[in-house]
Amino acid sequence: MRTTQKLCAVLALVAVMVAAAGVARGGSNDDDKGEKAAKGKLPLVIGHRGASGYRPEHTLAAYKLAIGMGADYVEPDLVSTKDGVLVARHENEISATTDVENHPEFASRFRTKSIDGAPVSGWFTEDFALAELKALRATERIPELRLDNAAFDGLYQIPTLQEVIDLAKSAGVGIYPETKHPTYFDSIGLSLEEPLVATLRANGWSRKKAPVFIQSFEVSNLKELNRMTDAPLVQLLNASGKPYDFVLNGDPRTYADLATAAGLREIARYADGVGPNKNLIVPRDGSNHLLTPTTLVRDAHRADLVVHPWTFRNENFFLPEDFRHGNSAHPSYLRATGDSPGEYALFYRLGIDGLFTDNPDTAVATRVESFGDKGGGADDK
């Protein structure tokens, strides 16, 4: 009962905040929703690594399923091969997402490296030519939570950026690439920015209205990209820590500093949006219950930045206690689907411009319930 009362209080506060924002803009919340629907500017649904709640992440199968579920954009995290080809992997270390351990011909390439200041052991994309990576097959990254996804282990190759673009173009959706560990890749002579911009330009997707957002947790490479392309840029913000380039150059600011009103105004000088950890918008307490929403969405909009929080997932494991369902004593409890539509609806009400989700079908269905049946859509399908 106490959890229900607390959630009701949070939702009531959200309603007050949204209503106040509507008054401040000179219109009601319902009027804003109608205007957004008429303009096709409802919150974007971004397939996080594809529909990774249902297929091994960063595979063409995951991207295709996300598109079929109604995603407006799909997200390829980008790392480089030894021969300078950009491929879609969440990390350059690939033992958790491929069957590389089962390939004895690659056993000697096991390494321990320092990635963003931390030791990481395994097999790394930059030690493989593209043709060699194509011999590997994707596997489910978190089979302990997503047992069904493991049924697809061994079926799919690692896709290149160009293959993802070809798929997106054929389906009329956008892409939302992230440059992974850009400072590290610069340090080994495999810069990500130049091949990314060249590939986008070759596909006619380098202008402001292209169906592309480029994102990064670092700042200096976004500033570099701002000089290289007109494609929209998004500064990612984590709930703790600081950009790795800040660590190296001695900048004392943290992600928390960047998430302030002043920090967001600074971001607006080189980027078009922010991608915050969703806990920066609705924090959680030590017992995983929701707290009062922050002013991040309002502050970002005042700085003329779009807001695309991450990451929304259906399993209880990822949800706040307020939206978890089931018998907490059951061994399957954390794998079970909770009230994820309730979480989506909460963030939609707070005025976000899009979100990253492992389950695009749930995000789209809740968007329809919240706003009607007009989707967000890429700007240039």
Tell me, what amino acid is at 90? H
Query: Exposed/middle/buried for 232, CB within 10 Å: 0-12, 13-18, 19+?
Result: buried
For residues 27 and 356, the answer to whether their CB atoms sit within 8 Å is no
Instruction: Give tens-digit pLDDT for 71-110.
Output: 999 999 999 999 999 999 999 999 999 999 999 999 999 9
- SS3 assignment, position 148: helix
Structure-token match 């700007």, residue found = 379
Q: How many residues does the chain have?
A: 381
* Averaged pLDDT, 280-302: 98
The pLDDT value given to residue 376: 59
- SS3 assignment, position 286: coil
In whole angstroms, give the CA distance from residue 334 to residue 328: 8
pTM: 0.89
The two tokens of residue 125 are 């994309």
Helix (H) or strand (E) holding 216: strand 214-216
* Averaged pLDDT, 298-306: 98
Instruction: Give tens-digit pLDDT for 133-165.
Output: 999 999 999 999 999 999 999 999 999 999 999
In whole angstroms, give the CA distance from residue 102 to residue 226: 41
In whole angstroms, give the CA distance from residue 157 to residue 160: 9
In whole angstroms, give the CA distance from residue 93 to residue 112: 10
Cα-only R_g, the chain: 20
The two tokens of residue 18 are 């949204």
Q: What sign for the dihedral angle of Cα 348, 353, 354, 355?
A: negative
Residue 34 has pLDDT above 80, yes or no: no
CATH fold of the domain at 40-91+146-371: TIM Barrel (3.20.20)
| Phi, psi values for residue 290, rounded to 5° | -70, 145
Virtual torsion, Cα 361, 362, 368, 369, nearest 10 deg: 150
Q: Any idea where the domains of the chain sit in the sequence?
A: 40-91+146-371
Instruction: Give tens-digit pLDDT for 317-369.
Output: 999 999 999 999 999 999 999 999 999 999 999 999 999 999 999 999 999 99
